[in-house]
Amino acid sequence: MKVLVINAGSSSLKYQLYDMTDETVLAKGLVERIGMDSSILTHKPTGKEEVTEVSEILEHTTAIRKVLEKLTDKEHGVLSSVDEIQAVGHRVVHGGETFKGSALVTPEVKAEIRRLFDLAPLHNPPAIMGINAAEVNMPGVPNVVAFDTAFHQTMEEKVYLYPIPKVLYKKHRIRRYGAHGTSHQYVSRVAAEFLNRPIEELKIITCHIGNGASLTAVKGGVSVDTSMGLTPLEGLMMGTRSGDLDPTVVTFVMNKEELSISEVNSMLNKHSGLLAISGSSSDMRDITDGWEAGKPNETLAFEMYEYRLRKYIGAYAAAMNGVDVIVFTAGVGENSAIVREKTCENLSYLGVELDKELNKVRSGEPRRISTPNSKVEILVIPTNEELMIARDTLQIVQESK
Ligand code: AMP
């Protein structure tokens, strides 16, 4: 079965086409600047040259039509006909409390995603545009939605509730939802497979640290706690997001600096984190370069980032009464040997022992970077949210037949 995975943003659309017989990627690409003049389609068929095309793409329906044209193009295509695509999987950011797993798209499912617009005003509307566009371009082909929040729906009430008036939960569903669920689920499963141990027996801390960053405590294969909250702002220090802070900072700053709600939101989401402390960059590569060169602002940014990450690992080891495996994944987690080294250096009280040489090896495969003596297995596992969505899509479509 061939499955197309779509990740639709407000002005962008990423895609990957899978052949699920062997889980290979046949082609992938990206449409950028949808709705602006000169939209850009970048298409990469596996084993062939990447092609870029600039044209006017005003909305997502046209974007998907152009993608399908490329997928079936004589020169750059990988399919003889669009009919070869048997299912489409969509990434959706917020599934609220309704979606505890991926779901087949029905009119009711779409209505529910729309009802959740309030909780993800920037992210859920484009997902609906992506679904509609797929339905128009591929009539009769089943669509499946995979939610970033779904994996965390196993958290207990004592974990997901905030200690604020309960009426706010009852009226507005204010609670911890978490994010990056597809990634946390994927890497925790791969970790168990890699170690050849049943996931039901393992206490795993998954560190998804990229531009956005979150940690999850995975016990027995389910999420028992995660660092992102109502929105992806809570938790770790990130590229441009603050992560945890005293909520009073918000009201205090709004008052003193006469900021509006959108201005303070923008400050915390786009102008904080590594960028704010370094004053130069949100990219961990630049921060590490600055730290190595002895620049004080980059050094402080690096130290704060590592300290906050380590505190969360300690918290989740406490939450699970121990930890068997720590997984590093996403842009920083997969690529930054120095972030992994510095974090693990101060986890010796847990029995963590990093093999510094193994830690420096680069590979796109899951690998162990702890010593044989380490009481905790330290793994680097490349995340693959698209593959996870494609697997869910295949399973749900097959079960629905
Ligand atoms: P992601 O959001 O998972 O795509 O991660 C993107 C982030 O990963 C970038 O903003 C960088 O901060 C970080 N990153 C990528 N490559 C490296 C690297 N070699 N060393 C350190 N950080 C990296």
| Full 3-state SS string of 217-255 | EEECCEEEEECCCCCCCCCCCCCCCCCCCCCHHHHHHHH
For the CA of 383, the nearest atom of ligand 1: 3
Per-residue burial over 199-216, b = 16 or more CB atoms within 10 Å of its CB, e = otherwise: beebbbbbbbbbbbbbbb
Q: What is the pLDDT of residue 401?
A: 87
Alpha helices in 258-324 (DSSP H): 261-270, 273-278, 284-292, 296-319
Alpha carbon nearest to ligand 1 atom 10, residue: 283
Q: What is the pLDDT of residue 119?
A: 85
Confirm whether residue 399 is marked as ligand binding: no
End-to-end CA distance of the chain: 14
Residue pointed to by tokens 């702890």: 370
- For residue 367, what are the β-bridge partners? 380
Give residue 394's identity as a one-letter amino acid code.
Answer: L
- For residue 85, what are the β-bridge partners? 2
Q: What is the pLDDT of residue 363?
A: 87
Q: What is the pLDDT of residue 314?
A: 98
Tokens of 181: 């669920």
Confirm whether residue 373 is marked as ligand binding: no
Which helix (H) or strand (E) is 108 found in, with range? helix 107-115
Q: What is the pLDDT of residue 150?
A: 98
Cα(305)–Cα(273) distance, rounded to whole angstroms? 8
- Site to probe by mutation for ligand 1, drawn from 186, 336, 341 as the one with most ligand atoms within 8 Å of Cβ, is 336
Alpha carbon nearest to ligand 1 atom 4, residue: 331
Tokens of 48: 């062939």
Which residue of the set 73, 83, 148, 246 is catalytic?
148
Alpha carbon nearest to ligand 1 atom 19, residue: 335
Confirm whether residue 359 is marked as ligand binding: no
Q: What is the pLDDT of residue 121?
A: 84
Contacts of residue 136, defined as CB under 8 A and 6 or more positions apart, other chains included, come to: 61, 64
Ligand 1 binding pocket (C-beta < 6 A) is 210-211, 239, 283-285, 288, 330-332, 335-336
Contact 231, 207 (CB under 8 A): no
Confirm whether 148 is a catalytic residue.
Answer: yes
Tell me the pairing of strands 143-147 and 85-92: parallel
Closest among 120, 79, 76 to 98, alpha carbons compared = 120
For the CA of 339, the nearest atom of ligand 1: 21
Order of all β-strands in the sheet with 377-380: 222-226, 213-219, 203-209, 325-329, 377-380, 367-368
User: How many angstroms separate the Cα of 322 from the Cα of each of 223, 313, 315, 344?
Assistant: 15, 10, 10, 15
Mean pLDDT by 10 residues, the chain (401 residues): 96 97 98 93 96 96 97 96 98 96 98 92 92 97 98 98 98 97 98 98 98 97 98 96 97 98 95 98 97 98 98 98 98 97 97 98 94 98 98 97 87
Residue pointed to by tokens 């590093």: 328
Contact 350, 375 (CB under 8 A): yes
For the CA of 208, the nearest atom of ligand 1: 3
- C-alpha of residue 333 to centroid of ligand 1, in Å: 8
Q: What is the pLDDT of residue 118?
A: 85
Cα(88)–Cα(390) distance, rounded to whole angstroms? 8
Cα(387)–Cα(19) distance, rounded to whole angstroms? 10
